[in-house]
Structure 1
Amino acid sequence: MAAADVLFPSAAHASNWGSYQVEDSIIKPTKDAFDPKKHLSFAPPSKVYTMADIGLPKDTGVSPLAVSEPFPLFTPEAVMRMREEVLNDEVMNKCQYSSNLAQAQLRGYADKYAPFVYDAWKHPETLRIVSKVAGIDLAVQFDFEIGHINLSLKTEEQRQRELRAYHDPTTPKTPANDAPIVGWHKDSYPFVCVAMLSDCTNMIGGETALRTGTGEILKIRSPQMGHAIILQGRYIEHQALRALGSTERITMVTSYRPRHPHVRDDTVLTTVRPISDLGELYHQFAEYRLEMLEERVRAQLRELVDAKAAGRRVATRKLKAFFVEQQRFLEHMDREMVDEGEVVTGEIVECSVEK
């Protein structure tokens, strides 16, 4: 969607979003706490694309998965509860960000203002589902990245104008017709699960476009409401294409990392520093990374103690290699925690993967 066709949301938009009409019926959210038996509707995706499938080396990333086709994840009632918690005055006023990649986003709100959203993504059953599709045991990146919202809103007049142009055979089909709502980028985090919170029944477009290893573009269709896709977005250049036929497109994104502390962690903060509360972001980033380091050091210490007890000599080369690896781990953390005065709000630069 071209920037001129995006309404920048305000708290005034939120007042009518608590309930939602879907297929001629009104679904009203309840106040029930998250219950996986009631609020999850998981069915496996029809297809999972591997890195090899999209022309990337098999060892790209930390699991074979590149991206999944959309699959059912949340029930309509769960979606309504999420919309009710997210699209309200307090979240809109306190947690809204924008950048050169995306016009309107809501971030860092879940643990403060959205208990249902928080519990839905942190629940062991949700984590089990996401890990199953991803092909690796995952943990939520950290609380600040639970339920990141991408908002794309249009007036009814804009919607009708775009549809007329789309169906008019005399309208030139230019690159602007495929303009993204989120530009080309690689994610800061290893995995994302992107869930749809809007009714896409009459939506045209809205795909996630991936740049393959051959340079071609693979488009993954947009999920329906309550459905999701999982993408190993840290390693694949991608963008969200604009959608026609609807006055809104609201997606909820939760980021993940490998749970095991000995699996490599390529997390960076490139795409999130300019759209975050840096105090919260840096604290949570440092906390989980130091916990990883602690587990690695404890494991190395146990190995050292066990070797001594068994009468074995110190494996000096192996131990020194461990020191070098952890030094790089800490240096990486230092690079990512850029001094706050040097961070330009809203300005996101290209995100690459270190070799």
Structure 2
Amino acid sequence: MQDPSFQPSVKSVAPHNGTTADTSVEFDPAKHILFQPPSKIIKMTDIGYAEDTGVSPVAVSHPFQLFSEDAIGEMRKEIFKKEVLANCKYESNIAACQLRGYSPKYAKFIYDAWKHPDTLSIISKIAGVDLVPEMDFEIGHVNLSIKSKEQTDQEIAAISNQKRFFADDEGIAGCPWEDDKPIVGWHTDSYPFVCVLMLSDCTNMVGGETALRTPDGNILKVRGPGMGCAVILQGRYITHQALRALGTKERITMVTSFRPKSPFLADDSVLRTVRPISDLSELYYDFGEYRLEIMEARINARLKVIRDRRRAGKRIDTSAFKKFLQEQIAFLAHTNSEIVEEDQVTVGYIEEMDIPDVKVEAMEVPKQGTKRARTD
């Protein structure tokens, strides 16, 4: 459960550049995309997963610059519109405050930014597979962690005290912040890939990383992105959590989910973690439409094969045809299992994983050399 003392207050946060929330700016890739490639891309096999896990060899990227400061300013203006906060705010037992399902109705700039071919090309290249947004409802999901100035100042003071206590002039030390709770608890995503974009100024931020759990139970932390930067994660197959950011008033991230563009690749999307925090009618419309489109493409392709073989005077390949039918039956059954009756969905409750939370550590980088931290 979330720390009951954590009460997000989105009213206290203004758009990044201080302007009003109304905007008519159109997304322009020449102005708003500021791409710089990630320094490293971690493969699934690098962290212990089998080579055939997921839909791509890529596990997670290091942070990379994606959008310009102007683009982030426009996005912030849109997510803080009063209509978004009034109609699209959700909370659950693993995340205290989220904004969902507001695009494109209230946020055309955000919608166009994530749907633009140039954006999709960048994300697909890093992910190692051609991707498209999972569905409109999942474009621009926002996780909000916002604190008062008093809370922020207390964290900064406590972190400084811990650093002085644990570190000496021989090296560095890290100490866990015992009272922190993750912004989003341990989970696997509902969809194959996510792109996590930072909308906050991360200056002086401690924590804010994404913690990944490897198959052998070890924890790998991926550095959080700076403002306008993003990371790409194959989160459907990797258990992870978003760590609390300390020493800063806010940590606002925008998460857009993706699936393979090709209808002939596996789509393991589920709705388990999103049903309780969604307008189910809109979610089911989007999910049902794209799943049926996938089946339509597969059936049309198989129909062409059957017709071509018949015109060529060949016998039907019974085994191949039955295999195709069995695969589509399984696909339909999975789709049906994800469409749960509304009265059976508990709003705001997502089943939690019984894994200890990762603690945020206050770290001080040594000025000279690399020496061992004190352990006493």
TM-score band, normalised by shorter chain: over 0.9
- Say whether residues 1:302 and 2:301 are aligned partners: no
Does the CA contact (< 8 Å) of 1:18 and 1:87 recur in 2? no
Classify the secondary structure of the residue corresponding to 1:32.
coil
**Where do residues 104-253 of structure 1 align in structure 2 (5 Å cutoff)?**
104-169=97-162, 173=175, 176-177=178-179, 179-253=181-255
Classify the secondary structure of the residue corresponding to 1:73.
strand
Does the CA contact (< 8 Å) of 1:108 and 1:146 recur in 2? yes
**Where do residues 1-355 of structure 1 align in structure 2 (5 Å cutoff)?**
3-10=3-10, 12-13=11-12, 16-17=14-15, 19=17, 31-169=24-162, 173=175, 176-177=178-179, 179-350=181-352
Mean CA deviation greater in 147-156 or 171-180: 171-180
**Deviation (angstroms), 1:110:** 1.1
C-alpha separation in 2, matches of 1:90 and 1:117: 15
TM-score (norm 2): 0.87
* Structure 1: 5+ residue stretches without partners: 21-25
TM-score (norm 1): 0.92
Letter aligned with residue 231 of structure 1: L
Classify the secondary structure of the residue corresponding to 2:183.
strand
Cα RMSD (Å):
2.1
Classify the secondary structure of the residue corresponding to 1:6.
coil
**Deviation (angstroms), 1:168:** 1.8
Overall identity of the aligned pairs, in %: 55
| Per-residue Cα deviation, 1:128-152 (whole angstroms, up to 9, x for no partner) | 1110100000011010000000000
**Deviation (angstroms), 1:8:** 2.4
Q: How many residues align?
A: 344
Does the CA contact (< 8 Å) of 1:149 and 1:251 recur in 2? yes
C-alpha separation in 2, matches of 1:27 and 1:326: 50
**Deviation (angstroms), 1:173:** 4.9
Rg (Cα) greater in structure: 2
Does the CA contact (< 8 Å) of 1:30 and 1:77 recur in 2? no
Letter aligned with residue 69 of structure 2: P
C-alpha separation in 1, matches of 2:297 and 2:84: 36
Mean CA deviation greater in 86-95 or 281-290: 86-95
**Deviation (angstroms), 1:18:** 5.3
C-alpha separation in 2, matches of 1:44 and 1:156: 35
Change in Cα spacing, 1:190 to 1:329, as seen in structure 2 (3 Å) is same
Letter aligned with residue 148 of structure 1: H
